[in-house]
Structure 1
């Protein structure tokens, strides 16, 4: 009887989902074989054990609301913002794709490399590039690289020190000369 009670509970939980006729159910938890059976009978695919961050991204893309209990689901919680879900094999691994989103607010990037070291380097470079892009979008103030900023400061301090008389000019001139160390070091390392 305990087994029957569990089956009835799982069926009730699945029916809470099935009544909304979704094509895909995504959960951060596991899904029992019996629950998968009930959902598959109604042509509902299930993605389980998704990371919370990934689940939030999918919700943003699809327009769905993450709910904690199936009896709390309303029609407004159902994401209807994407047109295609499919599983594709890339290399030796399978990946789930949610595509053709009306207003995509997130995405995934699949990186591939010849070795783990290469892949890690590609990932670091991509993260740097994305952070630079984010920073430029949020605050569009930029400085040139390669020591150009330091040279401009050096020149301004050195030229400015010439306008000052006596010993007061020495700190300005010294800092101006010191600022040239960074561009000089960069030039030596690049050559």
Structure 2
């Protein structure tokens, strides 16, 4: 576990950009970005609209800018998030995960339980709307998500929220631009 924390801590110091993408012919993929691809924006109005009203994992599946997160959820067996009555999810967009895909970290990808623990750090088992979001919240992995507001907007443990509250059938989703370092 110390090796995993060290690896994640090292990666968290990197500032990476990029995105999930739609390949030629409109096929959403989680593979490395090939030249000539169109980058999918998780916060594009049509992608956000596609998420509305669906359970959270189904909503993530409807947004091509969250394809890497979806791959991680599937691998970790977290489709059960659709059955949780109330969640808040800090969803890392493909803008980060395309350069740091879970599939390229064998200690996570080859161990679904470890991957699930990492991904559960992005979920709070209650629906937090904007009026109740600021402050300290315990995640499903028993870590702390501290939400603050500064001149640049909302932050979760210093990671910027790029799309404010999107309501799915069972979750409030906040899309973040980096992997959140949990306390």
Do both proteins adopt the same fold according to a TM-score greater than 0.5, normalized to the shorter chain?
A: no
- Give the TM-score normalised by structure 1: 0.22
Task: From the CA coordinates, give the structure whose radius of gyration is larger.
Answer: 1
| Bigger strand share | 2
Q: Which has the higher contact order (CA 8 A, sep 6+)?
A: 2
Greater helix percent: which structure? 1
